Chains A and B, each alone.
Chain A
Amino acid sequence: MSKFRKKGNKSQPAVNTAALPDIVFMLLFFFMVTTTMRETTLKVKVVTPKATEVEKLERKSLVSYIYIGEPIKSLQASFGTAPRIQLNDAFATKEDLFQFVEMEKDKRDEAERNLVTWSLKVDQKTKMGIVTEVKQELRKVNALKINYSTKKTDKILD
């Protein structure tokens, strides 16, 4: 007699999946709480350098971003590979920074306008020339609190 004969017509009871929605909702809420919405679509490739002395940026609502890097692959055909500045969703030149700063300041409450941090997200391969130009422009419009966006690391390699 075979031990593996079919056990008649008894069907296996289905796995109870009643708790599955609960699990998924839990995951959903976790992600909703811990993440933030993407605000801009990056048009430049930015790999920020690493540093050890980083500080966390408090109050995200008071941070405005300036991206500098070479255009992403799909845009290189029309824009080339020279590093560019991106403000909000579009490429910009350093002359546009003045307007950008004013607009970003207008978005905030009057009392907080001088507390805005300007976060420079710059690709690590970029040359300092363009970064310095941006910094000089920021100085001219009195946007002095800046942050060089970097990733935290424990050890700097030469």
Chain B
Amino acid sequence: MAKREISEINAGSMADIAFLLLIFFLVTTTMDTDTGLIRKLPPPPEDNPEDIDVKQRNIFEVLVNANDQLLVEGEYIQVSELRAKAKEFIKGDKNNPDMPEFKVEDVPVFGPMEVSKQIVSLQNDNGTSYEMYIKVQNELIGAYSELRNELANQKFGKSYDELVAQSESSELIGQQLDAIKAIYPQRISEAEPKKIGGAK
């Protein structure tokens, strides 16, 4: 039998089909990677909460009003100044009676060590804009992470982020990370909001 020539399949419209699919995916999908500030809310309040007395010197008071103005430790400042102030407070100064107290705590790797009893208290108004709130949160988180970074570099020669990245693979680095966290624990407390001043 004579060999019959197989005619080639016309692939001319393949490109059109592929384009159609491409455009479909372009329209229905998003590319945004999710990034954000990760926070932990305090557990729900108990029925009869006990009042915990915290000395005034241990609290770093941050107030934001309905006009997005910032009052830190009784002083009116700009957001750009907040980070430096917060760092100074969190780091503390043993000889200054206005700065937070120190308490000896058991820290991994280093053993007993004096750790500051700092607490950052953030209170905002119902009229505060979300943008401002995030700015303030960002600066406070930034203050903690800068301090942790400095300490990690000084003690272990690695940045805090490197410690976090490597902590899964090595137990020692995990302990080092815990030590840094124990020395500068992130304590940002958010007071119940007040409804004063400004329209809702």
CB distance from A131 to the nearest CB of B (A): 6
Complex contacts, A139 vs chain B, CB 8 Å: 41-45
The answer to whether A146 touches B126 (Cβ under 8 A) is no
The answer to whether B80 touches A150 (Cβ under 8 A) is no
CB distance from A77 to the nearest CB of B (A): 22
**What per-residue 1/0 map shows which CB atoms of A61-73 lie under 8 Å from chain B?**
0010000000000
Task: Using known A-B contacts A54-B37, A128-B128, A146-B39, determine if residue A35 contacts B29 with beta carbons closer than 8 Å.
Answer: yes
**What per-residue 1/0 map shows which CB atoms of B24-42 lie under 8 Å from chain A?**
0110111101111111111
**What per-residue 1/0 map shows which CB atoms of B102-138 lie under 8 Å from chain A?**
0000000000000000000000111111110111011
Task: Using known A-B contacts A24-B18, A31-B26, determine if residue A144 contacts B41 with beta carbons closer than 8 Å.
Answer: yes
Chain A's closest residue to B141 (CB) is A53
Complex contacts, A86 vs chain B, CB 8 Å: none
Within 8 A of B (CB), among A24-45: 24-25, 27-28, 31-32, 34-38
Task: Using known A-B contacts A27-B22, A38-B28, A55-B38, determine if residue A158 contacts B78 with beta carbons closer than 8 Å.
Answer: yes
**What per-residue 1/0 map shows which CB atoms of B127-159 lie under 8 Å from chain A?**
111110111011101100100000000000000
Chain A's closest residue to B127 (CB) is A127
Count contacts on B: residues with CB < 8 A to the other chain.
Answer: 51
A8 in contact (CB, < 8 A) = no
The answer to whether A132 touches B37 (Cβ under 8 A) is no
Q: How large is the interface on A (under 10, 10 to 19, 20 to 34, 35 or more residues)?
A: 35 or more
Taken together as a complex, chains A and B put the C-alpha atoms of A139 and B193 apart, in Å, by 14
Partner among A52, A55, A129 whose Cβ is within 8 Å of the Cβ of B126: A129
Complex contacts, B126 vs chain A, CB 8 Å: 127-129, 132
Complex contacts, A145 vs chain B, CB 8 Å: 38, 40-41
Taken together as a complex, chains A and B put the C-alpha atoms of A114 and B9 apart, in Å, by 55
- 17 contacting pairs across A/B (C-beta < 8 A): A36-B31, A49-B131, A51-B138, A55-B38, A122-B130, A124-B129, A124-B134, A125-B129, A128-B124, A129-B126, A129-B193, A129-B200, A140-B44, A145-B40, A148-B39, A150-B138, A156-B139
